[in-house]
Amino acid sequence: MNRLLIFSIILFSISATAQRNPFKNLSEKDGKIGIGTSLPDELLTVKGKIHTQEVLVDLDGAVAPDYVFENYFTGFSEAMPEYRLISLEELETFLKENNHLPNVPSAKMMLHDGISLKEMNLVLLQKIEELTLYTLQQQKEIDALKEKISEK
């Protein structure tokens, strides 16, 4: 009977400890959860790699870059009235001065601040759309030059 009582107390102690924190690397502070860190600074902070099949990011007020095409083809964008596609010459000048694309954080900023997946994906999509327009412009110039050459 004595052994059974001791065994029961040990089991209860282990169970109670496990219920308080079943994961060794999981912590909670001020309503924030930390995995691999005892100092979470966001709702969920993970120190280490995350393996998942999918990540869904809500735009939550962010503007998808349809404004690039809207501005190019109509001359104005309601979604982003201040947007303007810069010329390739302006782009080259910017690149020489800054060593990164306009509206893309510098390597120094990324190292210091990290990157927001939502913001970066939207910026990269904007850059893809701008590249598409530059390609279309260049193709028009190529076609015009071909026509000029064939006329001679």
Q: Per-residue confidence at 24, pLDDT binned at 50, 70, 90?
A: confident
- pLDDT tens digits, 103-124: 999 999 999 999 999 999 999 9
Query: 12 vs 106, which has greater pLDDT?
Result: 106
- Bridge-based pairing state of the strands 44-46 and 26-29: unpaired
- pLDDT tens digits, 49-101: 999 999 999 999 999 999 999 999 999 999 999 999 999 999 999 999 999 99
Whole-number average pLDDT of the chain: 90
Q: Residue 16: pLDDT above 60?
A: no
The residues spanned by each domain of the chain are: 1-47, 52-152
The pLDDT assigned to 109 comes to 97
Task: State the distance between the two ends of the chain, measured CA to CA, in whole angstroms.
Answer: 110
Query: 5 vs 53, which has greater pLDDT?
Result: 53
Q: Residue 22: pLDDT above 70?
A: no
State pTM to two decimals. 0.76
Q: Quick one: average pLDDT of 122-142?
A: 98
C-alpha to C-alpha distance for 88 and 98, rounded to whole angstroms: 15
The pLDDT assigned to 25 comes to 87
